[in-house]
């Protein structure tokens, strides 16, 4: 969320957005202008950085576009069970002697 504030969102027409860094390189992304596509019909956003596909976490570029288009609730598609409080039930034992402590 914090990194999303370091980008300017430019609407390129249709459902295409360019995210340009403001004020210098961004950690892990540098000065790369990232492209995000919004599929308005099913709340699916694709970003060419592919962070969600790689890490299972939504990227700062998509968060910025969501804010621009006034999406205030993160779509269920982007909330993987492994990042929720129910993760232990989904993942099972961690292999260690203790179960993960969840609040």
Number of H helices, E strands in the chain: 3, 4
The residues that touch Zn ion, with contacts defined as CB under 5 A, are: 47, 49, 59, 61
* Least distance CB 72 / Zn ion (angstroms): 19
Residue 80 CA, distance from chain mean position: 12
Q: Which has the closest alpha carbon to 66: 45, 80, 35?
A: 45
Smallest gap, in angstroms, from Cβ of residue 83 to Zn ion? 17
Question: Toward Zn ion, which CB reaches closer, 27 or 95?
Answer: 27
**8, 39, 54 from 24: Cα distances, Å:** 12, 29, 25
Query: Cβ 84 to Zn ion, closest distance in Å?
Result: 22
Which CB sits closer to Zn ion, 46 or 87?
A: 46
Nearer to Zn ion, 47 or 72 (CB): 47
């Amino acid at each position: 969320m914090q990194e999303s504030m370091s980008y300017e969102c430019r609407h390129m027409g249709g459902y295409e957005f360019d995210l340009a860094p403001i004020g210098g390189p961004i950690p892990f992304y540098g000065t790369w202008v990232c492209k995000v596509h919004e599929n308005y019909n099913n709340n699916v956003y694709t970003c060419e950085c592919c962070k969600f596909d790689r890490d299972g976490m939504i990227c700062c570029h998509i968060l910025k576009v969501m804010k621009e288009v006034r999406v205030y609730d993160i779509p269920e598609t982007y909330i993987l069970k492994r990042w929720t409080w129910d993760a232990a039930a989904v993942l099972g034992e961690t292999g260690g002697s203790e179960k993960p402590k969840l609040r």
